[in-house]
Amino acid sequence: MLGKKRQIFSKINEDIILIHQDSMASMNFNTCNSYILRLRDNEFAIIDPGSSLKKLNKTLTQNNIDFENIKHAYLTHGHSDHVNMLDYLQEKNPEMISYIHPLERSYVENAVEYYELLFPLRMIENQEKFSDFITAIKFYTHPNSNLTLNQNFKMVFDTWNVKSRKVDKTIKHGDVLPGGLKVIHSPGHTPGMCMLYKEQDKILFSSDIHLSKAGATVNGDKCSVSEYKKSIKKVMEMVEEGVVEMLLTGHGKNPINSNLRERLQQFYDTITKKEVLILTILQKKEKMTIEDITNATFAEYIKRFEKFTHLDMFRDTICIAEASEMMGNYNFLIELERLNKVRKEVSEDKTFWMLV
């Protein structure tokens, strides 16, 4: 689409292959960076099997890796962009063992129910402003159907390959997985997100502490902004102590092996900047609904995607982005309320937010 041939995979070192996430231009938001790790001669583990089918197959073929040699699948968290090839790998090798933190297990095993909660349906269903969003959902599904928004969502999830998948084992903080990977529980983005640490190589697989320019991903309904901040700080400390020299992240360009401290700080600052932005917006009016706040923040958000706005698909996708921005704002407001900087008031069935 952009006329440039993109890499399918990169070798990080002798034992680690990165399968690149699909580009934004493909509009496949449902993929992540996956990593294949050699455990011994002909034994491998995959970290976050969330690449596209095509890239997964090509990477394995070109590196002479058979499916039956992928013995383990480590899931850093349960979002479908990190797990979408799990069932395919399980089918190819029924012996493969998959692992996830217990707080994430139900997102994978009851994915459809979980995804119904992901977008703030109750907040958007009756609003004129989101009629485009609802049209976009129908565009992905049945243009002339009379299905409810919820039923339509189910079909979008089908196109995104969101479905329930089985996980074999749970992991907890401090566990050491085959391949010598130490589990570091790092909640925030989701409650049970785990990073995986390869101590002897000073490499940290940091999942959605991903350092990409778009900033911290706070738009899930289970996100805790305060926990996310703590987890980013934890990575900063590991870098400062000199025990982490390379990050391999779930999204964005990799490997990340220079200016780690500064880049982590920039990522952390995307959170504090957003908090400041919301507080600034709230200064303008005595009280505001979450829709008012989102109108103001989304103008900033959309700038990140300027180079894609000429694409037809973008118009539809952006509606989903706006709804997820609103969910993110909700998570920021909860954090600001916790910090006693904002409070809310319910009147006439509406929730209003204001400065304390």
User: In the complex, what is the shortest distance from the CB of residue 105 to Zn ion, in angstroms, rounded to a whole number?
Assistant: 15
Per-residue burial over 276-314, b = 16 or more CB atoms within 10 Å of its CB, e = otherwise: ebbeebbeeeebbebeebbebbbeebeeeeeeeeeeeeb
Which residue number, 79 or 274, has a Cβ lying nearer to Zn ion?
79
User: In the complex, what is the shortest distance from the CB of residue 79 to Zn ion, in angstroms, rounded to a whole number?
Assistant: 3
Which residue number, 195 or 293, has a Cβ lying nearer to Zn ion?
195
Which residue number, 324 or 329, has a Cβ lying nearer to Zn ion?
324
Task: Indicate if the alpha-carbon torsion angle 282, 286, 289, 291 is positive or negative.
Answer: negative
User: In the complex, what is the shortest distance from the CB of residue 80 to Zn ion, in angstroms, rounded to a whole number?
Assistant: 9
For the packed helices 312-338 and 225-240, what is the interaxial angle rounded to 10 degrees?
90
Which residue number, 198 or 210, has a Cβ lying nearer to Zn ion?
210
Which residue number, 179 or 192, has a Cβ lying nearer to Zn ion?
192
Which residue number, 71 or 186, has a Cβ lying nearer to Zn ion?
186
Which residue number, 83 or 342, has a Cβ lying nearer to Zn ion?
83
Which residue number, 138 or 222, has a Cβ lying nearer to Zn ion?
222
User: In the complex, what is the shortest distance from the CB of residue 50 to Zn ion, in angstroms, rounded to a whole number?
Assistant: 9
User: In the complex, what is the shortest distance from the CB of residue 303 to Zn ion, in angstroms, rounded to a whole number?
Assistant: 23
User: In the complex, what is the shortest distance from the CB of residue 142 to Zn ion, in angstroms, rounded to a whole number?
Assistant: 28
Per-residue burial over 154-171, b = 16 or more CB atoms within 10 Å of its CB, e = otherwise: bbbbeebbbbebebeeeb
Strand positions, DSSP E, the chain = 9-13, 16-19, 34-40, 43-47, 70-74, 97-100, 169-170, 176-177, 181-185, 194-198, 203-207, 246-249, 342-347, 350-355
Name the phi and psi angles at 69, rounded to 5: -90, -5
Q: Are 84 and 30 in contact (CB under 8 A)?
A: yes
User: In the complex, what is the shortest distance from the CB of residue 289 to Zn ion, in angstroms, rounded to a whole number?
Assistant: 27
Q: Are 48 and 207 in contact (CB under 8 A)?
A: yes
User: In the complex, what is the shortest distance from the CB of residue 190 to Zn ion, in angstroms, rounded to a whole number?
Assistant: 6
Distance CA 19, CA 59 (A): 7
Task: Indicate if the alpha-carbon torsion angle 120, 252, 235, 229 is positive or negative.
Answer: negative
- End-to-end CA distance of the chain, in Å? 49
Distance CA 256, CA 274 (A): 24
Contact positions toward Zn ion, by CB under 5 A?
Answer: 79, 208
Which residue is nearest to Zn ion, using beta carbons? 79
User: In the complex, what is the shortest distance from the CB of residue 32 to Zn ion, in angstroms, rounded to a whole number?
Assistant: 8
SS3 104: helix
Name the phi and psi angles at 36, rounded to 5: -110, 130
Which residue number, 116 or 132, has a Cβ lying nearer to Zn ion?
116
